[in-house]
Amino acid sequence: MTLIRTAAGRGYKYTLDGEPVMGVPSLTGGGLPKPGQPRWAAREAARYVVDNWRALAPRIVSGEADSVFDEVRQAPFQERNPAAGRGVDIYRHAAAFLTRGDDQVPPELYGHAVACADFLDDWGVCPLLVEAQVGSRTHKYAGTLGMVAKLPTRDAVLVSYETGSGVWPECALRAAAYRFADFYVSEDGAEMPVADLGISAAYGVHLRADGYSVHPLDAGEETFQRFLDVSAVARNAKTFPALVHAPVTPIHLLKTGDAASERRTVRRSNNGAAALASEPEPETSSWAASHEAEQ
């Protein structure tokens, strides 16, 4: 098999024909603007402080301000939804519900698994591929699709389980990337053309503890081109740091460095003395003063 997937944190890394390639989620995440994210992060951080101020305030007073700062800063990015990113696990529990009638489901996933089982039952889903790896040599990417299934209409559809806050536009971009990949890896490790699956539609299925909703996705050729555009931004972003080089010195200073250095020393010495002479005494904030008085 020339496509190799390696677990990396909560996601995967891929190599194709011995060369590393970016995964579909990394491409959409790195190239798609998220103008609302700063406001979201600020809101979540503020909410964390309001919800936990009784525990945080004594730590600040006792000298742990830096630790509290880091905790609040990271709060928006701490996953609080135990089902987030576990669509495949939820599907497997749901499939066990339908085939065996019961299953040992972790309590935090039970509602989502029931919702998934309801979806599979209501829609008459017959899975063809589950968590299959796909790759594109043409466009140098790889990924792992959620499911390709047959419906009672005999249509083959791509299904993406979403267990977070909803079904967002990048879900359609990812679906298009999977649909127009060159190949998928079969259970026996063979590369098979994705086109042979005859995928005619794509759906984002939002699984919640209290139910599910099915959202048709535009995963056609135009959306695939948008995915490629987003991918180009993500790939180029990795090279942006190289656009700024290390500091340089004018050539003429390299030749007359001694005289220039002496003039600079005099300027800095004079300015530094004047600055120190004019610098006001530091003020003690009213908060700090009152805090010290309480001690």
Task: Specify whether 213 is located in the same domain as 269.
Answer: no
Residue ranges making up the domain that contains 55: 37-77
Task: Specify whether 70 is located in the same domain as 141.
Answer: no
Task: Specify whether 162 is located in the same domain as 282.
Answer: no
Task: Specify whether 136 is located in the same domain as 87.
Answer: yes
Task: Specify whether 217 is located in the same domain as 276.
Answer: no
Contact 208, 166 (CB under 8 A): no
Residue 197 is assigned to a structural domain of this protein: yes
Task: Specify whether 66 is located in the same domain as 131.
Answer: no
Task: Specify whether 230 is located in the same domain as 103.
Answer: yes
Question: What does the block give as tokens for 226?
Answer: 């948008």
Task: Specify whether 235 is located in the same domain as 257.
Answer: no
How many residues are recorded in the chain?
Answer: 295
The partner residues of 95 in beta bridges, in order of sequence, read none
Residue 199 is assigned to a structural domain of this protein: yes
Handedness of CA 133, 32, 221, 149 (dihedral sign): positive
Task: Specify whether 66 is located in the same domain as 126.
Answer: no
Q: How far is CA 43 from the centre of its chain?
A: 18
For 11, residues 6+ apart whose C-beta sits below 8 A from its C-beta are 23, 25, 26
Contact 170, 184 (CB under 8 A): no
For 231, residues 6+ apart whose C-beta sits below 8 A from its C-beta are 22, 27, 28, 31, 139, 141
Contact 141, 27 (CB under 8 A): yes
Task: Specify whether 45 is located in the same domain as 111.
Answer: no
Element (H, E) at 143: strand 141-144
Residue 246 is assigned to a structural domain of this protein: no
pLDDT in tens, the chain (295 residues): 589 998 887 778 999 999 999 999 999 988 887 777 788 788 888 988 999 999 999 999 999 999 999 999 988 777 555 545 566 678 777 877 666 666 678 888 888 888 988 999 999 999 999 889 999 999 999 999 999 999 999 899 999 999 888 899 999 999 999 999 999 999 999 999 999 999 999 999 999 999 999 999 999 999 999 999 999 999 998 888 889 999 988 887 776 555 566 666 666 666 655 555 555 555 444 434 444 443 3
The Cα 278–Cα 50 span in angstroms is: 42
The Cα 96–Cα 104 span in angstroms is: 9
- Identify the pLDDT of residue 3: 93
**How many domains does the chain fold into?**
3
The Cα 292–Cα 57 span in angstroms is: 16
For 120, residues 6+ apart whose C-beta sits below 8 A from its C-beta are 94, 95, 98
Q: Residue 27: which CATH number?
A: 3.90.320
The partner residues of 155 in beta bridges, in order of sequence, read none
Contact 13, 5 (CB under 8 A): yes
Question: For residues 240, 23, 228 and 31, what is the CA-based torsion angle, rounded to 10 degrees?
Answer: -40
Residue 27 is assigned to a structural domain of this protein: yes
pTM of whole model > 0.85? no
Could you say which of 241, 259, 284 is where a domain stops? 241
